[in-house]
Amino acid sequence: MARSITLRGNIKAPNFDVEDIFGNRINLRNYRGKRVFVGFFRHAGCPFCNLRVNKLESAQAQLKEKNMEMVFFFESTKIRLLASKYHTNIHTIPMVADPEKQYYNLYGVENSPMKSAKSHFMSLIQTAIKAKLKSLPVHWMADNESISTIPAEFLIDENGVIRVVHYARDLTDELSTDLITQFAEEGGRTTSSTS
For the cut 60, the answer to whether the pLDDT of residue 85 exceeds it is yes
Residue 1 lies inside a defined structural domain of this protein: no
Give the C-alpha separation, 129 to 174, whole Å.
19
Evaluate whether residue 6 is within a structural domain: no
| Mean pLDDT of all residues belonging to the chain | 89
* 31 found inside a domain: yes
Domain with 168 in it: 11-186
Kindly report the CATH number assigned to the domain that includes residue 34. Answer: 3.40.30.10
- Please check whether residue 188 is in contact with residue 164, taking contact to mean a CB–CB distance below 8 angstroms: yes
Predicted pLDDT of residue 1: 45
- Classify residue 21: in a domain, yes or no: yes
* pTM strictly above 0.85: yes
Report CA-CA distances (Å) from 139 to 19, 42, 78, 94. Answer: 25, 12, 16, 22
For position 4, what pLDDT does the model report? 59
Question: Does residue 195 belong to any structural domain of this protein?
Answer: no
What's the structural domain count of the chain?
1
Taking each helix axis as running N to C, give the angle between helix 47-65 and helix 113-133, from 0 to 180 degrees, rounded to the nearest 10. Answer: 70
SS3 (DSSP) at 134: coil
Q: Which of 57-71, 97-111, 135-149, 162-176 has the lowest mean pLDDT?
A: 135-149
